Amino acid sequence: MLRSHVQAASVDEGESAKRIYESLEQRYGAQSIKRVLDSLTFAAAGREYTRFHPGQGLQKAASYIAGLSATPFHKVSDSSYKWMQKLEGKHSIIKEELTRALSNPELSTIGNQIWVAAAREEAVAYGPDWKTLVLQDRCVWEEKNETLFPKTVALIRELQVPSVEVFFARQAPGTGIKPHSDDTNFILTSHLALDVPEGECWMQVGDFKKNWENGKGMIADTSFIHSTFNESTTATRYVLIIRFWHPELTSDEIRALQFLFDVLNDSSVSGIAAARSRADQREGKFSQVKQKKKRGSGGGLGLLSKGMK
């Protein structure tokens, strides 16, 4: 996730990456987000973390933050995932909203990018038969689609799900996703099964395989090599996928990563200024006061102070 965007942003070689690094350091402080800064340096260098975990499987990540626990499947019953436990109890509301949308013949015209194939480079392994309907992408809600699923979006917000991406995914009968890594270890992936052919539809993460069960959630670290398959010859699989921040990230690290997503879209001086404005709105007055104190503590802007573009 980070590497592809850092490389795309680095039109002026190392200068762009350096501007991004300094903008993060200046806003949040080097010590509080050291792991994020190290991850940015790691991604900009084109490196990849690869580790085989005995009894668990192979993990690969180009966007990598050190020190986060790694296991193929996480237990939904864990206290960190109370929001998923509550979503399971509300799955019928989400399924009803999806069923109504699927029955609407005008869905593709009133929504945005309805049931589209994976477009990003890192999702090529998903193949043409894996389709998505996006509600949130990199922490930004898709306004048109949000209005089509108001109850689903309201639930996610009310439960304060630490989401980065939210989307419905469908898998056609007799198709699957080839083994691959999502290349990011600091964002985990959850699936809430809404309408699946039980006993015929599975996901393998590392050395472990699980079947989807309607109304039940699964949480996986998809930096482990993983794959899926829908063995049914007639039934399509529908799940709600929420990709979310690893629970061992600090609040400062999450804010820095959100800011980083904005900066990577435009790492020019004006782009960084726009990202600051968006972060001020997200983070509130406390963060603005904190930022002013940092500015007054002698931390210079480096390349940014020179107006380098």
Question: Domain residue spans in the chain?
Answer: 2-52+249-306, 73-245
Residue of 210, 211, 208 whose CA lies nearest to 198? 211
Highest mean pLDDT of the ranges 3-12, 133-142, 292-301: 133-142
pLDDT tens digits along 84-103:
999 999 999 999 999 999 99
Q: What predicted TM-score, i.e. pTM, was given to this entire model?
A: 0.87
Q: How far is Cα 153 from Cα 140, in angstroms, rounded to an integer?
A: 12
Q: Is the CB of residue 70 less than 8 Å from the CB of residue 221?
A: yes
Radius of gyration, CA atoms only, the chain: 20
**The domain 73-245 belongs to what CATH superfamily?**
B-lactam Antibiotic, Isopenicillin N Synthase; Chain (2.60.120.330)
Mean pLDDT for all residues in the chain:
88
Strand partners, 130: 171
Q: Which two tokens stand for residue 218?
A: 């699964």
Residue indicated by tokens 């609407």: 104
pLDDT digits (tens, 9 = 90+) for 61-74: 999 999 999 999 99
Which residue, among 24, 35, 82, 91, has the nearest Cα to 63 in the 3D structure?
A: 35
Work out the average pLDDT over 30-49: 95
Supply the pLDDT for residue 295. Answer: 45
pLDDT at 123 (0 to 100) = 55
Q: Where are the beta strands (DSSP E) in 162-250?
A: 163-171, 176-180, 183-184, 187-195, 201-205, 208-211, 217-220, 226-230, 237-245
With bands split at pLDDT 50, 70 and 90, how would you rate the model's confidence at 119? low
In the predicted structure, residue 6 carries a pLDDT above the cut 70: no
Strand partners, 230: 201
Percent of the chain with pLDDT over 90: 77
Q: Residues 222-243: what's their mean pLDDT?
A: 98
- Structure confidence at residue 18 as a pLDDT band (50, 70, 90): confident
pLDDT for residue 285 is more than 80 = no
Query: Looking up tokens 């829908």, which residue turns up?
Result: 230
Is the pLDDT assigned to residue 41 strictly greater than 60? yes
Among left, alpha and beta (phi > 0; psi -120 to 50; other), residue 190 is beta
| Whether the Cβ atoms of residue 249 and residue 68 lie closer than 8 Å to each other | yes
Tell me, what's the pLDDT at 16? 80
Tokens linked to 165:
């991406």
Here the tokens at position 90 are: 């509300």
3-state secondary structure 241-290: EEEEECCCCCHHHHHHHHHHHHHHHCCCHHHHHHHHHHHHHHHHHHHHHH
Position 130 confidence tier, pLDDT thresholds 50, 70, 90: confident
